[in-house]
Amino acid sequence: MTIRVLLADDQALLRATFRILIDSCEDMTVVGEASDGAEALELTRAHHPDIVLMDIRMPGTDGLAATSAICADPELAATRVLILTTFETEDYVAQALRAGASGFLGKDVTADTLLAGLRTVASGEALLSPAATRTLITNFLMSPAPDAHLAPPERLSELTGREREVMGLAAEGRSNTEIAEILTLSPLTVRTHIHRAMTKLGARDRAQLVVIAYQTGLAQAAPPVP
């Protein structure tokens, strides 16, 4: 299956570079380019790409607004958003994750990492390293935006005890392998529990599952180390 990618960045040179790189892969193709968030939303609705590679800082409608609109549109449920950013803007990254983005990459990413990231997100996984997850949790996810609506704990009622346990460990930034070792399960079984929890909670991917875990109180950030 060919992964269809939409590029959204106000820098034409960067878009051209990404296009050349992505189109050089047999399993990927660029279906369009947008220079701002409004155009990204329009082209996403027109082409229904598998992934939108989205810059946050763009003139006019920015990447956050576009990500929120894309992830809130039921007709675009199959499209995932991968944020391009720098680690200096973690607050924006957290907002994008709350809006439904599947992960993020730094703009200084290597070619191999970018392509691997696109494949990871296309497979339904979240592009969040354990270290990045813990940083976001500590700094932002534990302190929701003032206008954010927290999910009620009752939302977790359909989950089994094991699914809650696995979800809680994933929210700590644990990988499937680490969770498997802690619970004495196989990584495949952990993956199954993660996907079942995602399905029951209507989460697009692992990133959103982490957000829900903190919003419902299933997981709580540890106090910062002095």
* CATH number for the domain harbouring residue 33: 3.40.50.2300
Does residue 161 fall inside a structural domain? yes
Q: Which residues contact 153 (CB under 8 A, 6 or more apart)?
A: 216, 217, 218
Residue 118 shares a structural domain with residue 162: no
Taking alpha carbons only, the member of 55, 43, 128 closest to residue 92 is 55
Residue 60 shares a structural domain with residue 172: no
Domain count for the chain, please give it: 2
Choose one of 61, 92, 127: the last residue of a domain. 127
Choose one of 112, 127, 142: the last residue of a domain. 127
**pLDDT averaged over consecutive 10-residue blocks of the chain (226 residues)?**
94 94 96 95 96 90 91 91 71 73 80 88 69 56 51 80 93 85 94 91 80 80 50
Residue reference for tokens 């660029």: 30
Run of H or E residues at 198: helix 187-201
Residue reference for tokens 């200096």: 88
Taking alpha carbons only, the member of 170, 172, 173 closest to residue 194 is 170
Residue 185 shares a structural domain with residue 112: no
Residue 119 shares a structural domain with residue 206: no
- What digits encode the pLDDT tens for the residues 153-196? 778 889 999 999 999 998 887 888 899 999 999 989 999 999 89
Residue 161 shares a structural domain with residue 70: no
Residue 56 shares a structural domain with residue 118: yes
Question: Rounded distance, CA 19 to CA 32, Å?
Answer: 9
Does residue 113 fall inside a structural domain? yes
Print the domain residue range for 173: 152-215
Does residue 157 fall inside a structural domain? yes
* CATH code: domain of residue 198: 1.10.10.10
Q: What is the pTM of this model?
A: 0.71
Instruction: Using DSSP, state whether 210 is helix, strand or coil.
Output: helix
Residue 11 shares a structural domain with residue 106: yes
Q: Do the Cβ atoms of 156 and 215 come closer than 8 Å?
A: no
Residue 10 shares a structural domain with residue 121: yes
Does residue 106 fall inside a structural domain? yes
Question: Rounded distance, CA 140 to CA 1, Å?
Answer: 36
Provide φ and ψ at 29, rounded to 5°: -155, 145
Run of H or E residues at 100: none
Does residue 143 fall inside a structural domain? no
Does residue 194 fall inside a structural domain? yes
Residue 20 is predicted with a pLDDT of 96
Does residue 64 fall inside a structural domain? yes
Question: Rounded distance, CA 96 to CA 150, Å?
Answer: 16
Choose one of 89, 111, 127: the last residue of a domain. 127
Does residue 134 fall inside a structural domain? no
Q: Which residues contact 149 (CB under 8 A, 6 or more apart)?
A: none
